[in-house]
Each structure stands twice: as structure tokens, then as C-alpha cells.
Amino acid sequence: MRLLKAACILGHRPFRQAGLCRGRQTLNLSRHCSSGIVPNERIRNIGISAHIDSGKTTLTERILYYTGRIAQMHEVKGKDGVGAVMDSMELERQRGITIQSAATFTMWKDTNINIIDTPGHVDFTIEVERALRVLDGAVLVLCAVGGVQCQTMTVNRQMKRYGVPFLTFINKLDRSGSNPNKAVQQIRSKLNHNAAFVQIPIGIESNFKGIIDLVEERAIFFDGEYGQSVRYDDIPADFRAEAADRRQELIESVANSDDHLGEMFLEEKIPTNLEIKQAIRRATLKRLFTPVLVGSALKNKGVQPLLDAVLDYLPNPSEVQNFAILNQENTEEKSKILMSSLRDDTQPFVGLAFKLEAGRFGQLTYVRVYQGMLKKGEYIFNTRTGKKVRVQRLVRLHADLMEDVDEVYAGDICALFGIDCASGDTFASKSNDNISMESIHVPDPVISVAMKPSNKNDMDKFSKGISRFTREDPTFRVHYEVESKETIVSGMGELHLEIYAQRMEREYGCPCVMGKPKVAFRETIAKPVQ
């Protein structure tokens, strides 16, 4: 397929020189595979979410390597001077954390997978929120040592809010103190999910050698310097009893959530591997069951079976119902319209702008297409403002690289250039301009500080930066306090505001000073006196 060949070509060229961040680069690659438009059955839109330092970005880096999207793997903290592909900001490479969600796409077994890697810090929770709003499925990454942590529970609430099916990947099984059994128990007790292993590890900590597939009843080993060669073998004798018990536990857990497998279980019929896999898929799509996979992204173990599980158990765009709300209604209960997932031009276009980002060529608007087709050069309408805009440029994203495309269809994630809008706006064709997609939940800020430029002559730069950041991030709020004559910025945490202060200096050449807001004291009459 030409797209896969292009991906391989992309993988063999350097993304940037060591230590440099040159902004977005543009590639002219083919949009279509050789067979034409990619059908829904061969598309997955997934997000990778977790608590801080659970290994999300490292896992994404391995996924891109094994699918041929990149030619080399790099460390998250950029010890080799390059850093992970998905952490394209210089601040992300220096700190070793993800600050902004990054989008990419790749191919695995003839299936197009759109991936959004999200931050783990609660300060950047809006990035997770808007990613989950537009995705069909997710991978929840847990640390085998830490298990379910505070941000894990936050992400779980966000997935529940948008009804996103997910599977769990227990990472870092090579770490000392790893306990996957404890992690699964916490998924059941803290997150209230019907979870069970579909894989178990062959050894843990320093003895972690591979995994056992409980559905197919086989052992999987990862050979080669980077684990790129997957070898299937018989289950080791020492693990056969545990594998049999875990497989029975898996069947019982799924049978509690799937009627077909439940009937077979009650009738004491032995299900085939295919029937078990189909039952897991049905239960997962209904959010009644959570498959648990295991591995170690850093040690290159368990990533390829995770990709297989994404194809086997997570939904394609046609298996998720998305609704638009009919505008201009006076009733409290708004009418909902089911979006068509057909990948053609028979239905009018509807898309949701879920993220804004300033680029060298103007504002970059991330859009999830929910219905119809959008072509380069067409006119679309912002249903909030009623403004008519022209699609001058249409791209698909790979971290800080871009691929120009001529058209996108329902189920695709793309980006538009030069479109003036706000995060959460709905775009539609003229015949459909009275509807809007349900917007993104924006949490209220929890901290406020006073911010001002170190040099009074930088006020213009400061104003430009503040204006851009408030458009990009709905959780970053700014107001001017008249009495104290201070600019007050509010956000989701100290790190959140500190990052914006550093970005102001790096991107606008405007060093800033932050401090406590002044309190305006007033005098009042306490009691009458003679």
C-alpha cells in the first residue's frame, strides 16, 4: 500500500537534528491506499491515557516503530539528544513529560490507526478531555508497581463521561516490585470495572521473559535487539496450571457480561477461541468488560499483541453512535440527530474542532469528521458564529510533521489551516448548518496568580501570547483586576501556569514574573461611636 510505503520512507528520514525543534514540517504523501477509500472496518481512533510516568509516550514510540512509522526509537527524556517523536515541544523533551496531546497515524495489518498520546499530569487534563471526546476507543496504561493512581481515576471518569470503550495495558512488568495481580484487583475495586487478564506474564521483574495469550493458549516471546521478532511457542510447563486457571476466570468474567457466551457457560459447552474473542469484543464495546494486557514498553515486550488487541477489541467508527444537537429550539430537551458513519459524500459534512494550535502558517485546527466528506477548497460553516470559511489546506498529522490530503471522510481526524474558530465549534455544510456536536467538558481553574512581563516594553508581546494561549487552552483563564492593576491568570495547577510562563519567554521573547495576587483591602464602619 502506498500509504505504508510512504510511512516507511518517512521513518528513514531524520525528524530533526539533535537538540533542535524546528516547528512543523510538511510532507506530500498519498492519502489513499491502493484499494481506494479505507473502509470503517479498517480504521481505529484510539487514545493512550494514564497516570503520570506510566509509560504512555514510550509505548506510543514502540507502536510507531513496530508499525514502520519511524525507523528508530528514542528515549522520552531525550538522553540521546533527540527524544520521543510524540514529544515535539522542547519543554517536553527537557522535562520528560507530555504537555500537549499529540496526534499521529500508522498502519498495522492493513488497518489505519489514528493515535492521540495524552499528558498524564492533572494540570493538562483538558488535553485528555478533548482527546477522549473525539476518539472511539482508548488504551488505559497502568504501572505494574503503582497500579491505579489518582489520575487513573480521573481518566476513568472522563472515559465514562464520553462512553469510550477501553482496554488496559499493565506496563513496566520489568520493574522491581511489579504486581499485575494487585493492579487488576484495583481496577475492579477502585474503578468498578469487570476486568480480567487476557494475557499473563512469564515471570516478573528481572525474570520477565514474555507473555501468555490466554485466548489462543500460547506463549509469546520477543526476540531481536528491539523485540521486533515475535515468536510463538508452547506455554512453559511451570505456567500451564496458572494459565488454565486464568483462562477459566476470563471466560467466567466475560460470560457475566455477554449473553451468548453466558448461555454456553451455563450449558457447559466449551467455546472456541474465536467465540471467546468475539464475546470479549461485544462486552468491551458495551463497556461491560475490560480486557487486561501486560508487557513492558521500555523492554520491548507486549507491544505487538497490544496492537492486535486494539484491532480485535476496540470499535471502528461505524460501531460508535455519535449524535448532533438541533439548534434554534426553544424546548429544554434538545433533539438529537444520529450521525452517519458512511465514508462517502452522500451525507452532508459535519465535523468538530476539538483543539487549536498556533503554527507557522496560521492557526491549526484539529477536526474530527463525524459525517460526510470534506474536500480541500470547499466552503464550510461555523454553526456557532454562522461564518462561512474556505478550507484552504487540509492535512493529517504525525506529531510535528504534516501530510497534505485532498479529502477526508467520516471517522477521520485531520487539521485545517487558517480557520478562525474556538475549541468546541462545529463545522457543517450549508444544508446542515443548524446542528452542533456536543461540546467538550471544560473543568474550572483551581489556582490563580498574578503575571506580568519582566520588561514593561514587552507588553505587546505579552498581550499576543496571552491571547493565543487562551484560545488554545479553555482551562487557561485571564482577567485584569482593575483595583490592583494586575493581570490575573488562572489554571489547573502550578505546573500548568509555570509552563505557560516558560512558553511566553521561549516563543515570544517575553520573560514573565509570577506572584501572589494583591488583595484589595477595604474599610467599613464596625460600630457607632460618640
Residue 28 maps to a domain: no
The last residue of one of the domains, among 437, 465, 480, is 437
Q: Convert the pLDDT of each residue in 135-165 to its tens digit.
A: 999 999 999 998 998 889 988 998 999 899 9
- What is the sign of the dihedral through the CA atoms of 475, 479, 481 and 486? positive
**pLDDT-derived band at 283, boundaries 50, 70, 90:** very high
Q: Convert the pLDDT of each residue in 247-277 to its tens digit.
A: 999 999 999 998 899 898 888 888 899 999 9
Residues 242 and 101 in one domain: yes
Residue with the bigger pLDDT between 100 and 239: it is 239
Residue with the bigger pLDDT between 4 and 385: it is 385
pLDDT at 387: 87
CB atoms within 10 A of CB 289: 27
| CATH number for position 68 | 3.40.50.300
**pLDDT-derived band at 216, boundaries 50, 70, 90:** very high
Residue 32 maps to a domain: no
Q: Convert the pLDDT of each residue in 399-436 to its tens digit.
A: 667 888 899 999 999 888 888 888 888 999 876 678 88
Q: Convert the pLDDT of each residue in 193-205 to its tens digit.
A: 999 999 999 998 8
Residues 117 and 248 in one domain: yes
Residues 91 and 122 in one domain: yes
Is pLDDT at 499 greater than 80 in this prediction? yes
Residues 314 and 410 in one domain: no
Residue 487 maps to a domain: yes
Residues 309 and 359 in one domain: no
Residue 462 maps to a domain: yes
| CATH number for position 474 | 3.30.70.870
Residues 58 and 92 in one domain: yes
Residue 37 maps to a domain: no
Distance CA 364, CA 41 (A): 29
Distance CA 341, CA 357 (A): 27
**pLDDT-derived band at 26, boundaries 50, 70, 90:** very low
Q: List beta partners, residue 358.
A: 363
Residue with the bigger pLDDT between 130 and 121: it is 130
Residues 359 and 226 in one domain: no
Phi, psi of 178 (to 5 degrees): -70, 140
pLDDT at 86: 57
Residues 314 and 328 in one domain: no
Residues 336 and 315 in one domain: no
Is pLDDT at 96 greater than 80 in this prediction? no
| CATH number for position 387 | 2.40.30.10
Residues 355 and 301 in one domain: no
Q: What is the span of the domain harbouring residue 400?
A: 323-437
Residue 356 maps to a domain: yes
pLDDT at 418: 80
pLDDT at 331: 60
Contacts of 184 (CB under 8 A, 6+ apart): 170, 195, 196, 197, 292
Rounded to an integer, the average pLDDT of 343-351 is: 89
pLDDT at 20: 32
Distance CA 501, CA 197 (A): 44
Is pLDDT at 210 greater than 90 in this prediction? yes
Is pLDDT at 10 greater than 70 in this prediction? no
**pLDDT-derived band at 471, boundaries 50, 70, 90:** confident
Give me 526's grid cell.
464596625
Rounded to an integer, the average pLDDT of 357-366 is: 74
Is pLDDT at 89 greater than 70 in this prediction? no
Is pLDDT at 478 greater than 70 in this prediction? yes
**pLDDT-derived band at 131, boundaries 50, 70, 90:** confident
Residue 82 maps to a domain: yes
pTM over 0.75: yes
**pLDDT-derived band at 316, boundaries 50, 70, 90:** very high
Rounded to an integer, the average pLDDT of 293-306 is: 93
The last residue of one of the domains, among 298, 319, 340, is 319
Convert 188-256 into a string of H (helix), E (strand) and C (coil): HHCCCCCEEECEEEECCHHHCCEEEECCCCEEEEEECCCCCEEEEECCCHHHHHHHHHHHHHHHHHHHC
- Tell me the DSSP string of 123-159: GGHHHHHHHHHH-SEEEEEEETTTBS-HHHHHHHHHH
pLDDT at 230: 92
**pLDDT-derived band at 368, boundaries 50, 70, 90:** very high
Residue 460 maps to a domain: yes
The pLDDT > 90 percentage for the chain reads 34
pLDDT at 80: 57
Residues 104 and 206 in one domain: yes
Residues 223 and 342 in one domain: no
The last residue of one of the domains, among 437, 470, 498, is 437
> How many angstroms separate the most distant Cα atoms in the chain?
98
Q: Please tell me the total count of domains within the chain.
A: 3
**pLDDT-derived band at 329, boundaries 50, 70, 90:** low
